[in-house]
Amino acid sequence: QLQLRESGPGLVKPSETLSLTCTVSGDSIKSRSHYWGWIRQPPGKGLEWLGSAYYNGNTHNKPSLKGRVITSVDTSKNQLSLTLTSVTAADTAIYYCARHSTTVTGPLDVWGQGTLVTVSS
Amino acid sequence: QSVLTQPPSVSGAPGQRVTISCTGSSSNIGGVYDVNWYQQLPGTAPKVVIFGNKNRPSGVPDRFSGFKSGASASLVISGLQVDDEADYYCQSYDNSLGAWVFGGGTQLTVL
């Protein structure tokens, strides 16, 4: 059974870099049929897609984040990574990783449990 | 403000039917892009309940149905149950933003 699990620091200081990892088990991240994405949810608010990566290194990140987001996959470890630079309090959120198909409107069909990241000094 | 517009809340009594709307534009729902719907129970990750406008994943009851017309989509839940109380989000792709986009979410209360 496919499972995704996010990991990383729960507290990051303002202006620093947030780095998270998503470990995929039960399937290979080298699936040609899927992208692997990051979505976040500020406390009490809605969902926001941040970026997605494909096993061959292709990525598609949210343009409005102006280059702050970097997504990548490590096929040797079956992991997906998120890097978010120059964080502020507005980046405090639950961060989820999820799988979606390569078709642009395919659903996010498998999600991790999420990890809370707080930006505070 | 979300690109896809949903009502903040809806409610219904057990056994009733509720409809959650999702309104977009020609660059997303009104174009060639399908709509997916997610249910988020308190304290849990979202789960897809409708994909491709109207399709149910295995395990989702047929009480859940989806529709799309023009630049709008709807999620209909019939035979409401207490366990349906959750937040619901629509999602699509927006080609002017170059991004996957979500609606702001609708909180369903089962009275």
pLDDT single digits (tens) B77-108: 999 999 999 999 999 999 999 999 999 999 99
Q: Which of B20, B48, B100 to mutate to test the interface with A (most CBs of A within 10 A)?
A: B100
Q: Which residues of B touch A96 (CB under 8 A)?
A: 45-46
Q: Which residues of A touch B89 (CB under 8 A)?
A: 46-47
Facing B97 at nearest CB: one of A47, A64, A105? A64
Is residue A104 pLDDT above 90, yes or no? no
Does the beta carbon of B93 lie under 8 angstroms from any beta carbon of chain A?
yes
Q: Which residues of A touch B101 (CB under 8 A)?
A: 49
Residues 6 or more apart whose CB falls under 8 angstroms from that of B69 comprise none
* Radius of gyration of chain A measured on its C-alpha atoms: 14
CA distance A21 to B6: 32
- At position B110, the amino acid (one-letter code) is V
Share of chain A above pLDDT 70, in %: 100
Per the structure block, which two tokens stand in for A16? 């620093």
Does the beta carbon of B39 lie under 8 angstroms from any beta carbon of chain A?
no
Q: What is the pLDDT of residue B66?
A: 98
Q: What is the mean pLDDT of chain A?
A: 95
Q: Which residues of B touch A100 (CB under 8 A)?
A: 100
Does the beta carbon of B64 lie under 8 angstroms from any beta carbon of chain A?
no
Is residue B70 pLDDT above 90, yes or no? yes
- Find where tokens 């699990």 sit: A5
Q: What is the pLDDT of residue A40?
A: 98
What is the tally of helices (H) and strands (E) in chain B?
A: 0, 9
Condensed to tens digits (0 to 9), the pLDDT of residues B7-61 reads 999 999 999 999 999 999 999 999 989 999 999 999 999 999 999 999 999 999 9
Does the beta carbon of B89 lie under 8 angstroms from any beta carbon of chain A?
yes
Does the beta carbon of B110 lie under 8 angstroms from any beta carbon of chain A?
no
What is the rounded average pLDDT of the residues A1-12? 96
Per the structure block, which two tokens stand in for B38? 């997610």
Contact across the interface for A64 and B102, Cβ inside 8 Å: no
Q: Are strands B106-110 and B9-12 parallel, antiparallel or unpaired?
A: parallel
Condensed to tens digits (0 to 9), the pLDDT of residues A30-74 reads 989 999 999 999 999 999 999 999 999 899 999 999 889 999 999
Contact across the interface for A46 and B104, Cβ inside 8 Å: yes
Share of chain B above pLDDT 70, in %: 100
Does the beta carbon of A107 lie under 8 angstroms from any beta carbon of chain B?
yes
